Amino acid sequence: MEENNNNQPLLSSREDNQNNHLETLLSTTSNHSFTADADDIQPINTVRDFYKEFKVESKKLWFLAGPAIFTSICQYSLGAITQVFAGHVSTIALAAVSVENSVIAGFSFGIMLGMGSALETLCGQAFGAGQHDMLGIYMQRSWVILNSTGVILCFLYIFASKLLKLIGQTTEISEAAGLFAVWMIPQLFAYAMNFPIAKFLQAQSKMMVMAIISAVALVFHTFFSWLLILKLDWGMAGAAVVLNVSWWFIVVAQLAYIFSGTCGRAWSGFSSKAFQNLWGFVRLSLASAVMLCMNILGWTVMVALGINAAISVRVSNELGAAHPRTAKFSLVVAVISSFIIGLVLSIILIASRNEYPTLFSDDSDVETLVKKLTPVLATCILINNIQPVLSGVAIGAGWQAAVAYVNIVCYYVFGVPLGLLMGYKLDMGASVAEDRIRKWGGPDSKEDNDPLMEKENKQPLLSPYGEDELTHQNKHLLSRPFTAGARLLFTEFKTEFNKLWYLAAPAIFTAICQYSLGAITQVFAGHVSTLALAAVSVENSVISGFSFGIMLGMGSALETLCGQAYGAGQYDMLGIYMQRSWLILNGTAVILCFFYIFAEQLLKLIGQTPEISESAGLFSVWMIPQLFAYALNFPIAKFLQAQSKIMVMAVISAVALVFHVFFSWLVMLKLGWGMAGAAVVLNLSWWFIVVAQLAYIFSGSCGRAWSGFSWKAFQNLWGFVKLSFASAIML
């Protein structure tokens, strides 16, 4: 698309200008506001008004967030369950799977998730603007970008053993984790497919489909993990097989749902438009990845990520429908809700600090260290529970690039150097951190970059109005106070609270279920051996975690596009956006495969011991299928989320989690497959989620949002790539 300087909105309700407006986001930014629609909430003047709006908004939010959280938990649990069963194979298997999950797969997961999050912006606002046919195209673009990224990340998996040794991991664990990382390369490309799919579905609020698929995948993953890892004694190989298959099951299931026609106009088949404007999409995906990939804190963060998905849908939908006050109030409800949940989770974590470590390992030293670190973790959870919510607002408004810059400075210019200085040079370890928290009650945290509260506001990416309608009053619409009294404030707060939790509750449940997949795998890996635990942990945290973050971030580009497109009634664009995201995320996954393939070398390179690096590297290679499940799942999640179909994702994730636990126990412990069984079950669980969600989409449940594959998905791919990269960098 030719560059222009008109700063026009991305989406317009006028069909004849649809394509031109859709592409503008990928090449320009806007600095204008717009005229509020008559359906926007009225200014809040009393406590009663606040309570009323809070209740309504909470229902809307949790309608999206509930299944989204459930889906995330189920998908995360795939790796966790694999780790659990790996722990019953051997100590080295537990270490290898843990290292691969945490370092190799965790890094890839973060990159893929972050890059896939670019779809949240595009799909969310396209859906809100009623341009549903663009959703599938955006998803296809995201597939292209994320699969290309997956190819690059493959080197991380391949050299995982060397990387782990390089960062100081023991030789035994590095080698085991490196081998496991190579096995987990298929998971990388599953990420590339899954994350754009998730954003595609999320933008249409089809969260329930993703939740159901994730739940089913988790159930099967648990069973086959137990069967292959323990019963059949496949060990780490079985873990890799199951984990890869689980992730690809999620991808295939979600694709089946989309292809079934349930998304209406959002999916009209594969399109050559997915290859157009790819650079803009890459930039947005990278921004989303940077913003997201460093914000993964386990199961507890899945709650915040679920709310992140819900608030991005709410903001993008409301901005796409020209409801700025409603979008602003959604932010208030989401922040309050997330803080309360973070406080409760922190209290629960501290209260159970003597019990939960035994789930992952029987080693007394490990349990002691976990107990000591729990207060630090609880404090981090409480402080960081707000950040993903604010990131969701940025995604919904299309501000990924700005947040990406902030995160880069905060994490890498300030945070990481300070952590290295205090942790290694000054020898201030976890004990010192714990003592400081006990003494001072934790550091103060203040979020100053609230995007919706800034004095100078930018126009949302989508608007049903032309630039000629803008006035000075409209430009300051979002900056005006929306409360005028305690009573009205309370009423509106209650209404918005109900809307928020209507979306957030299922989203949180989904996120917890999907996150639990890897965590449960890690738990079982701890019962296999210490090395298996280390390898799986490293792969989950570094290899898969990195890929997960990238895929999730890139897939998040759909949240904006699908959310606002849905809000504007342009449902047919959702499927196209999701297809574009699939293309980009699968392309990213292909690149990330190298990250999995060379995970052993990478882990040795960063100081991991050779043993853990090799084990985690091997487990990473086994988990490559999971990468492509990510690539499909995340766009699907955003696609469903934008349509408020959160409950579907929650149910699927719950089923996947149940099966994942059972099969992890069966394969890793009973059949003795060890880390191999962990990989098998974890891959299968993730792919079960993808396939189940696709089946829901293809069944016609999404209406006009999915009208089949479209060549439009290949149009404007470069712009979609830029948006996906921006989202990935941001997240």
Q: In this predicted model, what pLDDT tens digit does every residue of 260-315 receive, in sequence order?
A: 888 888 888 888 877 877 777 776 666 665 545 444 445 555 666 677 777 777 78
Residue 274 lies in a domain: no
Phi and psi at 112, nearest 5°, equal: -65, -45
What pLDDT is attached to residue 688? 93
Rg (CA), the chain: 22
Task: Give the Cα separation of 313 and 202 in Å (integer).
Answer: 7
Q: Which residues of the chain have pLDDT under 50?
A: 1-35, 291, 293-297, 433-434, 436-484
110 found inside a domain: yes
Helices (H), 258-323: 278-292, 299-320
CA dist 49 → 40, 333, 589 (Å): 14, 14, 48
Give residue 249's pLDDT.
94
Q: 697 lies in a domain?
A: yes
Q: Where are the beta strands (DSSP E) in 622-679?
A: none
Structural domain containing residue 390: 39-257+283-464+478-730
Residues whose CB is less than 8 angstroms from the CB of residue 186 and which lie 6 or more positions away in sequence, other chains included: 244, 247, 248, 622, 623, 624, 625, 626, 627, 628, 683
Instruction: Please report whether residue 4 resides in a domain.
Output: no
User: What is the number of structural domains in the chain?
Assistant: 1
* 268 belongs to a structural domain: no
pLDDT at 451: 34
CA-to-CA separations, 301 to 83, 174, 272, 313, 381, in angstroms, rounded: 18, 27, 37, 18, 7
pLDDT score of 448:
36
Calpha distance 60→69 (Å, rounded): 14
Is the residue at 53 inside a domain? yes
Q: What is the pTM of this model?
A: 0.49
262 located within any domain: no
Tell me what the pLDDT averaged over the chain comes to. Answer: 75
Q: Which residues pair with 519 in a beta bridge?
A: 80
* pLDDT value, residue 449: 37
* CA separation, residue 331 to residues 58, 145, 204, 422 (Å): 11, 30, 20, 35
- Predicted confidence at residue 486, as pLDDT, reads 63
Instruction: Mark out the alpha helices in 321-460 (DSSP H runs).
Output: 324-351, 364-384, 387-397, 400-408, 416-420, 430-440
Phi, psi of 683, deg, nearest 5: -65, -45
Sign of torsion, CA 501 502 505 508? negative
In a domain, 717, yes or no: yes
